[in-house]
Structure 1
Amino acid sequence: MKFSSLGSGSSGNSSFVQMGSKKFLIDAGFSGKKISEKLNNIKVRPEDINGIFVTHEHSDHIQGLGIVSRRYDIPIYIHEVTYREVQEKIGKIDPKNLNFIKGDKTIIGDCVINNFEVMHDAVKCLGYTFEYEDKKLSYASDVGCVNNIIKENLKNSDVIVLESNYDYNMLMTGPYHWELKNRVKGRNGHLSNSEASKLIAQVLCKKLKKIYLMHISKDNNTPELAYNSLYSILERENKEDLEIEIITEEQTKMYSL
């Protein structure tokens, strides 16, 4: 398995996962041109993508979805209620490339992609786990609160990619008006550094090798604060040798599991 974030933040979100010979995107929140350029940067041809898995309907996750699917004949995997929300925004999709996610498991060749619902201010928001042979990558962005569903799905992972959106003190003393502050820290908002770190501590296992922290707020967080919050938890658990990488709006290098 291989993983690379194409970028994460308010201006766009998309990630690449390879499982054997199969290649997938999670979300397509940049322009079609940018997604193509970012894939070329990691030596992946856009036309070789086998599917795009959509987390939810917000524009920073679906901006290039329609055009990339049409241009490169790529299947989309999306919940039906999410599709109803984005249908007009993404334009006409070839019926053969429109796959509604039903149940909690999608099997494509030897690849198993599980989905699980997370709390967020969207009609439906999904996290995913990608399992191939004995490897597992778990991905949860835009998470309002931690619950047992998320914990169970993140267990036994080799790699975890998780939102660490805001620092509580920065949010509360920052420029956002109170309504927006309450939305960010509410059950349908985002995960704080502290909440993300505590969740990681609850799902630590021997096989976990790397943790990515993503969706770092420009206004209410810094990469250093997100990193230090998690590192202090890992240090307490004698797991400070685990690799931590902060995903910003810039693309990350390819990581092989």
Structure 2
Amino acid sequence: MRLAVLGSGSKGNSIFLETDNIKLLIDAGFSGKKIEEQLSKISVDICDIDGILITHEHGDHILGAGIISRKYDIPIYITKESYEAGTLKLGKIKSENLRFIEEAFWVGDSMVYPFDVMHDAERTIGFRIEESSGSKVAIATDLGYIDNTVREAFRDVNVIVIECNYDYHKLMECSYPWELKARVKSRNGHLSNNDCARFLCEIHSEKTKKIYLAHMSKDSNDPKIAFDAVKDELVRNKIDVSVEIATQDICTKIIEF
């Protein structure tokens, strides 16, 4: 498998994943032009994308999905709930390119395991993707609470992409209205730095080679605060693993695992 985070944050999210015979986007929350530009930075032609997997219907996850599907004839994999809630944002999708997610499914040589997470969309899912050769990645960029379903999905994977959205003190001090602060820190909101750090220590295994901290708030978080919170907790638990922050505008380098 090869993976790069094209960008992650409240203004857009998209991840590129490649196996021996397929190339996927997980979410397409930027404009079609922006996604095409980000892919070109890692020497990937958008025409070669085999499918777009959608986590939920919020605009920062589906903004460019419909445009890309229509322009390049690419199928979209999405839950029926998210599709119905996001129809206006997606626009018209060819019936043969609309693949509703109900249970685990194959895309090329990889099995995709969707799992439900707690977030304030009509329905939000994460993805555990297993290549036939044995490589595994788990992705959840919007979730407010870690339950047993999430724990199982992230068990024994090689690469983790997980939300690390806010620092509690910065959230309480920022200019958000109280209603938004309450939403962010609720079980259906977003994951804090400290909760993310504890979760990573809990599910880390010797198979874990890389962790990406995703969907970081620019108003209620800081990259250094988030990175230090996670690394300090990992060090306290004697865990040595590569950690990288996925930023809003800069595409990460492709890693192979």
TM range (shorter): over 0.9
2:192 matched residue in structure 1 = 192
Q: Quick one: percent identity of the two aligned structures?
A: 47
Determine the C-alpha separation between the residues in 2 that align with 1:87 and 1:7: 23
Determine the C-alpha separation between the residues in 2 that align with 1:41 and 1:210: 21
Q: Is the 8 A contact 2:21 2:108 kept in 1?
A: no
- TM-superposed CA distance for 1:10, in Å, is 1.3
- Residue 114 of structure 1: SS of its match in structure 2? strand
- Residue 61 of structure 2: SS of its match in structure 1? helix
- Residue 25 of structure 1: SS of its match in structure 2? strand
- TM-superposed CA distance for 1:108, in Å, is 1.9
1:111 matched residue in structure 2 = 110
- Residue 238 of structure 2: SS of its match in structure 1? coil
2:236 matched residue in structure 1 = 236
* Long gaps (5+) in structure 2: none
- TM-superposed CA distance for 1:90, in Å, is 1.4
- TM-superposed CA distance for 1:47, in Å, is 1.0
Q: Is the 8 A contact 2:51 2:77 kept in 1?
A: yes
More off after superposition, 107-116 vs 25-34: 107-116
Instruction: Give me the CA root mean square deviation.
Output: 0.8
Determine the C-alpha separation between the residues in 2 that align with 1:40 and 1:21: 19
Determine the C-alpha separation between the residues in 1 that align with 2:230 and 2:108: 36
1:245 matched residue in structure 2 = 244
2:211 matched residue in structure 1 = 211
Determine the C-alpha separation between the residues in 2 that align with 1:77 and 1:115: 11
Q: Which amino acid aligns with 1:53?
A: L
Give the number of equivalent residue pairs: 255
2:130 matched residue in structure 1 = 131
Within 5 Å, give how 1:46-65 maps onto structure 2. Answer: 46-65=46-65
The question of 1:91 aligning with 2:91 is answered yes
Q: Which amino acid aligns with 1:229?
A: A
Map Cα deviations across residues 139-168 of structure 1 (whole Å, 9 max, x no partner).
011111111110011000101000000000
Map Cα deviations across residues 109-162 of structure 1 (whole Å, 9 max, x no partner).
321111100000000000001111111111011111111110011000101000
- Residue 18 of structure 2: SS of its match in structure 1? strand
| Displacement over 2 Å in runs of 4+ | none
Determine the C-alpha separation between the residues in 2 that align with 1:173 and 1:63: 30
2:31 matched residue in structure 1 = 31
Map Cα deviations across residues 38-82 of structure 1 (whole Å, 9 max, x no partner).
111111111111100000010011110111001111010000011
Q: Which amino acid aligns with 1:74?
A: I
Q: Which amino acid aligns with 2:142?
A: D
Determine the C-alpha separation between the residues in 2 that align with 1:201 and 1:175: 32
- Residue 151 of structure 1: SS of its match in structure 2? helix
**TM-score normalised by structure 2 residue count:** 0.98
1:256 matched residue in structure 2 = 256
Map Cα deviations across residues 172-194 of structure 1 (whole Å, 9 max, x no partner).
12211111110000011000000
1:158 matched residue in structure 2 = 158
- Residue 191 of structure 1: SS of its match in structure 2? coil
Q: Which amino acid aligns with 2:245?
A: I
1:22 matched residue in structure 2 = 22
Q: Is the 8 A contact 2:21 2:109 kept in 1?
A: no
